[in-house]
């Protein structure tokens, strides 16, 4: 497999008014309830930005907006012999980077997270009414991300099942027929632990599918 995906095409933008307002007032001006009354100079800078952007938009239409993101993908035949294992090492670092650089969180289904992270009925009504988030809003998304990351970490481990059983070498004269074949004897296994491990992995992959369209920053 060989994949090369270029950066998103850029376009010309003029943000002198935006930078002027942020430098002068900070981010307060973005909140209409806290925004100060703009001065004549503020309005003048805004007018310049609008005029310059109109000129920029001509160049954007002629050239910049016509460019497309470069995507080249070559799949080898062995990449689909075990496609889940092929995709695991690709998806895992992307999830790690997304969580590290993330600046927001989607609305998570309450049933997908532990009870201690769920919002109360009153908090859910408040969110549906005016969008006010509860204290665990971002913690729920972090938990979802952690479960997805953990599941793909396990998928990248070919030997995770070995955490739940142990074999020892066996003397051929004391071995059963199957033990003689491999020269090993099972001395310990934890089937319940292995099943719980697999169930958690499966749930992490389910969450990946459920929130696939929320994997953006």
Q: For position 22, what pLDDT does the model report?
A: 83
Instruction: Give the domain ranges of the chain.
Output: 1-74, 82-217
Q: Are strands 165-169 and 71-74 parallel, antiparallel or unpaired?
A: unpaired
Q: For position 52, what pLDDT does the model report?
A: 92
Q: For position 54, what pLDDT does the model report?
A: 93
**Residue pair 46/17 in contact by the 8 Å Cβ criterion:** yes
Q: For position 137, what pLDDT does the model report?
A: 94
Q: How far apart are CA 14 and CA 29, in angstroms?
A: 18
Residue 38 predicted with pLDDT over 80? yes
Instruction: Return the residue matching tokens 């998103």.
Output: 8
Residue 181 predicted with pLDDT over 60? no
Mean pLDDT of the chain: 88
The pLDDT of 73-84, averaged and rounded, is 95
112-138 per-position pLDDT tens digit: 999 999 999 999 999 888 888 999 999
Phi, psi for residue 204 in degrees, rounded to 5: -60, -40
Q: How far apart are CA 68 and CA 8, in angstroms?
A: 8
Mean pLDDT is lowest, of 27-31, 69-73, 149-153, 176-180, for 27-31
Give the contacts of 48 (CB within 8 A, at least 6 positions apart): 16, 17
Residue 22: name the closest of 33, 3, 36, 4 by CA.
Answer: 36
Q: For position 33, what pLDDT does the model report?
A: 57
Give the contacts of 189 (CB within 8 A, at least 6 positions apart): 164, 165, 166
Residue 103 predicted with pLDDT over 90? no
Taking CA atoms, 77 is separated from 1, 3, 34, 49, in Å, by 9, 15, 59, 53
pLDDT grade, residue 145 (50/70/90)?
very high
Taking CA atoms, 124 is separated from 18, 20, 112, 115, in Å, by 34, 38, 15, 14
Q: How far apart are CA 148 and CA 201, in angstroms?
A: 8
Whole-structure pTM value: 0.75
Query: CA angle 43-45-46, nearest 5°?
Result: 60
Residue 170 predicted with pLDDT over 80? no
Q: For position 158, what pLDDT does the model report?
A: 86
Q: For position 64, what pLDDT does the model report?
A: 85
Q: For position 134, what pLDDT does the model report?
A: 93
22-33 per-position pLDDT tens digit: 888 775 554 555
Residue 111 predicted with pLDDT over 90? yes
Residue 187 predicted with pLDDT over 90? no
Residue 147: name the closest of 86, 191, 85, 209 by CA.
Answer: 209
């Amino acid at each position: 497999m060989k994949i090369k995906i270029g950066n998103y095409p850029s376009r010309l933008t003029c943000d002198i008014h935006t930078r002027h307002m942020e430098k002068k007032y900070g981010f307060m001006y973005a909140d209409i309830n806290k925004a100060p009354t703009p001065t004549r100079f503020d309005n003048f800078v805004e007018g310049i930005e609008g005029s310059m952007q109109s000129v920029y938009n001509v160049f954007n239409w002629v050239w910049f907006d016509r460019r497309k993101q470069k995507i080249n993908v070559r799949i080898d035949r062995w990449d689909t012999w075990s496609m889940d294992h092929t995709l695991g090492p690709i998806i895992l670092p992307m999830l790690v980077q997304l969580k590290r650089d993330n600046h927001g969180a989607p609305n998570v289904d309450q049933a997908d997270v532990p009870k201690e992270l769920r919002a109360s009925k009153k908090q859910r009504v408040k969110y549906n009414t005016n969008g006010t988030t509860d204290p665990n809003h971002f913690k729920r998304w972090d938990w979802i991300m952690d479960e997805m990351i953990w599941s793909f970490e396990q998928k990248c481990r070919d030997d995770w099942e070995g955490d739940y059983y142990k074999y020892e070498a066996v003397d051929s004269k004391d071995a059963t027929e199957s033990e003689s074949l491999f020269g090993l004897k099972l001395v310990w296994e934890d089937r319940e632990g292995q099943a719980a491990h697999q169930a958690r992995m499966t749930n992490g992959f389910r969450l990946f599918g459920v929130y696939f369209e929320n994997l953006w920053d």
